[in-house]
């Protein structure tokens, strides 16, 4: 009996090790085959995209070209799973769960990742509102759990929209995995999202076993990790080699005031903490045309290049341009043009099953283990051909690391350090001005009068960030001002019978407040004029006057993490 128990424990251990390192995340989205369909059941297209460990989920260029299924080196129960109904299944009568095993679309041996995607047409009743999920074991070994179960779920709702009577299209969310973050450097990860209906989109942490299995944030992530509704995540890793699973839900809303989502789409990925690169400038990657959206017609051939730029000199090389694409996108091996430029060729012929939006993302990896920001662009596939993409969903991710920059604004030079506090950023300035005024009138002899005024002004600007899109990050500010003024008049000697002295002091205070929605400007001018007449044979006087005025407008701050975004600074 003891031997049997030991064998069972050993077998369980081996099974866990084999079965515990192959899931890297993914996403599930859906859309109606015909948004204006009035019958029941309704045909919908469900697209599943999953990422796996390449060394156990083999994928070659020939597999990609032939749209072959991923070939696993071991048996994983998850590969024979289906996208089952998980919640409110009574409304989903007739739903037949599609398989989850996808066709191979992308592979990166350098980052040990295989990407697979499949699309299936299923039929569900009109007004159905239910959740489908793919749940199994296990994520690769994580800091918080060495054999964590995953669950990735999408909510499907087929009640006609209240604004146009059509069926809703769920958002799309695309992110590559793994994403490398340098140790001790707060990193901003923006999840590319889009919506064919142009709906308001918001992100939140996944919650509950159905949405996130054993890796539910924030407990599954480093302390202090933040998520914002625009799908930006701020994360800091402290230990080199740590792995974390990030699980997020993207939801669309019919208006900005609505709090009831039309649908929910998952996006899950891995984050890996790496040693900071000795080169401070990461590589870059972009598609040759550098367009955010490319219209294309079914049956027409698309050809282009993915370009990667090495910013760290000839001692560093680009070792990989990894991608996350879709069925039929054929890529060459990486080609080195010179010490700075590398590229891959792309070729694709879209099919009728790919009508609508298709999204492709890419990242470059250099020999110092430094990743580029994720670069995403989209295609709009049509049957008859269009010259422009009808919608412009935001589909670009930015990552950033803390930096300090010096900016010249008018005649004032200031250094700023940007720190994230919800949507607030800070910078500080210091300026010094000195003026000397002398005014005297003498009827018979000489008079020397010296007046010196020195003003020290320190202003702190609180910059508010409004993110309209990933390509339009604009900083606005309101100001907090502290002013100290000291005036000294000394050593006035007069040898005269009549002296007239006129002194004029003018003080101007300007306070300007600008936000993304309001603009307020207040100007206060104070003018003081004094005239003194003195008759004296000989007068020597010394007068010293010191005036200190402090004006301060305070702003409550809650400093969270330091991060830098490449953006436009507007100071009005």
What is d(CA 570, CA 572) in angstroms, rounded to the nearest whole number? Answer: 6
What is d(CA 425, CA 187) in angstroms, rounded to the nearest whole number? Answer: 15
What is d(CA 62, CA 67) in angstroms, rounded to the nearest whole number? Answer: 8
Q: Strand pairing of 23-32 and 263-274?
A: antiparallel
Average the pLDDT over 166-192 and give the result: 94
Q: Strand pairing of 113-124 and 103-108?
A: antiparallel
Given this model, what pLDDT does residue 75 score?
66
The answer to whether domain 2-276 and domain 279-401 are alike in fold is yes
Tokens standing for residue 289: 């045309």
Per-residue H/E/C for 531-550: EEEECCCCEEECCCCCCCCC
pLDDT digits (tens, 9 = 90+) for 84-101: 999 999 999 999 999 999
Most confident of 8-22, 110-124, 413-427: 110-124
Given this model, what pLDDT does residue 87 score?
97
Min mean pLDDT across 159-168, 169-178, 451-460, 561-570 is at: 561-570
Element (H or E) spanning 6, and its range?
A: helix 2-19
pLDDT category at 391 given cuts 50, 70, 90 is: low
Given this model, what pLDDT does residue 19 score?
47
Percent of the chain exceeding pLDDT 90 equals 48
More confident residue, 452 or 178: 178
Predicted confidence (pLDDT) at residue 322 exceeds the cutoff of 90: yes
Given this model, what pLDDT does residue 339 score?
93
Can you give the residue ranges of every domain in the chain? 2-276, 279-401, 404-569
How many Å from the N-terminal Cα to the C-terminal Cα in the chain?
81
Fold exhibited by the domain 279-401? Immunoglobulin-like (2.60.40)
Predicted confidence (pLDDT) at residue 167 exceeds the cutoff of 90: yes
Q: Closest Cα partner for 245 from 361, 152, 363, 112?
A: 152
Most confident of 332-346, 449-463, 522-536, 548-562: 332-346
Given this model, what pLDDT does residue 57 score?
83
**Cα atoms in the 13 Å half-sphere on the side-chain side of 471:** 10
Upstream peptide bond of 410 is cis (omega within 30 degrees of 0)? no
Predicted confidence (pLDDT) at residue 559 exceeds the cutoff of 50: no
The DSSP-derived string for 241-290 is: T-EEEEEEEEEEESSTT--S-SEEEEEEEEEEEEPPPSSSS--EEEETT-
What is d(CA 35, CA 20) in angstroms, rounded to the nearest whole number? Answer: 40
| Average pLDDT for the chain | 74
pLDDT category at 389 given cuts 50, 70, 90 is: confident
Predicted confidence (pLDDT) at residue 378 exceeds the cutoff of 50: yes
pLDDT digits (tens, 9 = 90+) for 503-537: 444 444 433 333 333 334 443 444 444 444 444 44
| Architecture per CATH, 2-276 | Sandwich (2.60)
pTM equals: 0.67
Say if residue 199 is exposed, middle or buried (CB neighbours under 10 Å; 0-12, 13-18, 19+): buried
Average the pLDDT over 363-382 and give the result: 92
Residue burial 328-346, b: 16+ Cβ < 10 Å; e: rest: bbebeebeeeeeeebbbeb
Q: Strand pairing of 472-494 and 568-569?
A: parallel
Average the pLDDT over 393-404 and give the result: 42
What is d(CA 244, CA 142) in angstroms, rounded to the nearest whole number? Answer: 6
DSSP 89: G
Q: Strand pairing of 375-382 and 293-297?
A: parallel
């Amino acid at each position: 009996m003891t031997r049997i128990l030991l064998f069972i424990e050993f077998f369980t251990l081996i099974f866990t090790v084999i079965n515990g390192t192959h899931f890297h995340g993914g996403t599930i989205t859906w859309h109606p085959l015909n948004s204006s369909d009035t019958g029941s059941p309704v045909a919908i297209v469900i697209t599943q995209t999953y990422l796996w460990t390449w060394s156990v989920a083999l994928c070659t260029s020939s597999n990609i070209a032939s749209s072959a299924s991923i070939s696993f080196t071991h048996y994983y129960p998850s590969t024979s799973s289906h996208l089952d109904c998980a919640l409110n299944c009574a409304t989903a009568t007739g739903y037949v769960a599609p398989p989850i095993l996808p066709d191979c679309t992308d592979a990166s041996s350098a980052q040990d990742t295989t990407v697979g995607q499949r699309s299936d047409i299923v039929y569900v009743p009109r007004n159905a509102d239910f959740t489908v999920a793919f749940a199994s074991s296990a994520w690769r070994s994580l800091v918080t759990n060495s054999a964590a179960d995953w669950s990735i779920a999408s909510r499907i709702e087929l009640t006609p929209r209240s604004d146009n009577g059509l069926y809703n299209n769920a958002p799309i969310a695309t992110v590559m995995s793994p994403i490398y973050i340098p140790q001790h450097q707060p990193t901003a990860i923006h999840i590319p999202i889009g919506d064919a209906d142009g709906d308001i989109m918001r992100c939140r942490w996944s919650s509950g076993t159905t949405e996130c299995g054993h890796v539910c944030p924030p407990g599954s992530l480093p302390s202090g990790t933040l998520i914002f509704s625009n799908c930006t995540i701020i994360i800091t890793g402290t230990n080199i080699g740590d792995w974390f699973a990030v699980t997020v839900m993207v939801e669309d809303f019919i208006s900005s005031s609505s709090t009831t989502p039309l649908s929910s789409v998952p996006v899950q990925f891995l984050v890996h903490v790496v040693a900071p690169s000795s080169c401070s400038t990461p590589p870059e990657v972009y598609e040759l045309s550098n367009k955010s959206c490319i219209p294309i017609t079914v049956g027409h051939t698309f050809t282009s290049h993915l370009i990667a730029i090495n910013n760290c000199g000839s001692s560093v090389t680009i070792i990989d341009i990894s991608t996350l694409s879709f069925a039929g996108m054929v890529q060459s091996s990486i080609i080195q043009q010179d010490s700075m430029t590398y590229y891959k060729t792309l070729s694709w012929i879209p099919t009728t099953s790919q009508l609508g939006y298709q999204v492709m993302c890419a990242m470059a990896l250099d020999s110092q283990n430094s990743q580029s920001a994720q670069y995403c662009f989209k295609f709009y596939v049509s049957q008859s051909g269009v010259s422009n993409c009808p919608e412009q969903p935001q589909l670009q991710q930015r990552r950033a690391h803390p930096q300090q920059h010096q900016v010249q604004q008018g005649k004032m030079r200031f250094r700023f350090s940007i720190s994230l506090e919800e949507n607030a950023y800070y910078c500080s300035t210091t300026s010094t001005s000195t003026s000397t005024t002398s005014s005297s009138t003498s009827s018979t002899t000489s008079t020397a009068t010296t007046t010196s005024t020195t003003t020290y002004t320190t202003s702190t600007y609180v910059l508010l960030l409004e993110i309209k899109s990933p390509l339009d990050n604009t900083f606005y500010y309101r100001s907090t001002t502290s002013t100290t003024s000291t005036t000294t008049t000394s050593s006035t000697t007069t040898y005269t019978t009549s002296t007239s002295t006129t002194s004029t002091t003018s003080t101007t205070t300007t306070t300007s407040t600008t936000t993304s929605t309001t603009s307020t400007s207040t100007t206060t001018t104070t003018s003081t004029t004094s005239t003194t007449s003195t008759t004296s044979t000989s007068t020597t006087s010394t007068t010293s006057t010191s005036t200190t005025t402090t004006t301060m407008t305070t702003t409550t701050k809650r400093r969270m993490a330091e991060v830098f975004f490449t953006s436009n600074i507007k100071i009005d």
